[in-house]
Chains A and B, each alone.
Chain A
Amino acid sequence: MKFELPNLFKNSNRKQIMFEVEDELQFHIEMLERKYVQDGMSAAAARAAALRRFGSIERAMKRCVNIRSRNSLLRRILKKSLILLGIAGFFIRIISSDRHVDHIGDIFILIAIFGRLLLYVRGLSPSNFLSATNETCPSIVTESPQDSSKLRGA
């Protein structure tokens, strides 16, 4: 039981993140559907058009959950604690004149540095780099508005 608690917390936290991301994406699709229905589409056609325009929900959700998970409350607390530990170690090194106490300061600084490195490495995944390629770039509509209105009229 002792070893299962962190996993339990991690899983429930991830489930909560998944629920919130799903709710947010669902809201977006609902708004699109509403817009298309107002434009005169049937409910089924509006749903299909909304899903088409949104793109892959699964992919968006997976990326969002990954980003949110690496920025979770537990992780942020851990990051701040490590910074505080490093600062404490640094002050111990400055203030203390005892060699043994100095070593405690060194240990604090080392734990802070390695802890931050570990958190950084754990946060890395290929998707973080792949997602930054096309997502941040909106595409330019190649057909002019006149062309598209002609198409709609046809």
Chain B
Amino acid sequence: MQGTLELLILNTLARESMHGYGIVQRIHEAAEDLLKVEDGSLYPALYRMEERGWIKSEWGVSEHNRRARFYKLTRKGQKQLEAERANWNRISSAVTKILQAT
């Protein structure tokens, strides 16, 4: 479903600020490798989300002492996450109802 990646990123960043690699790893771990996010497609999504003001980035130092860009959620992003979560719940419950009815 379109927009799912944004929802997953927002949800991941709600806990703590992270670099791109950390975000992908966290999504894969949480989904127990059932969902596959193509690593290269993560960055255009992150940049678009930053452009929309949902996340903010700054350069920092990684756990391996390497320069890395860290992303964190903004207040606008927090609101967006709540809206996307509600939307996702609405859609998934609607689909479940349809599947149960047929």
Q: A residues within 8 Å of B by Cβ?
A: 20-21, 23-25, 27-28, 30-32, 34, 53-57, 59-60, 63-64, 67-68, 70-71, 131-141, 145, 148
Contacts and interface: CB of A to CB of B under 8 A. Distances in A.
A54 B43 CA distance: 11
A28 B45 contact: no
A55 B34 CA distance: 19
From DSSP, what is the main secondary structure of chain A's interface residues? Answer: helix
Contacts of A21: 43
Contacts of B67: 23, 27
Contact of B36 (A20, A70, A134, A139): A139
A30 B34 CA distance: 24
A24 B8 contact: no
B64 A24 contact: no
A135 B39 CA distance: 10
B34 A27 contact: no
A131 B69 CA distance: 22
Interface stretch (B46-54, B73-81, B93-101): B46-54
Interface of B: 1-6, 8, 19-21, 24, 27, 32-41, 43-45, 47-48, 50-51, 62, 64, 66-69
B47 A68 contact: yes
B44 A135 contact: yes
A135 B50 CA distance: 16
A135 B5 contact: yes
A135 B64 contact: no
Closest 9 CB pairs of A and B: A55-B40, A60-B40, A63-B44, A67-B47, A31-B21, A138-B37, A135-B41, A54-B39, A136-B5
B6 A53 contact: no
Contacts of B35: 138-141
B44 A60 contact: yes
B76 to A, nearest CB: 15
A28 B21 contact: yes
Given A67-B51, A138-B38, 10 more contacts: A27-B20, A54-B40, A60-B43, A63-B43, A64-B43, A71-B50, A131-B44, A136-B4, A139-B36, A140-B34
A28 B5 contact: no
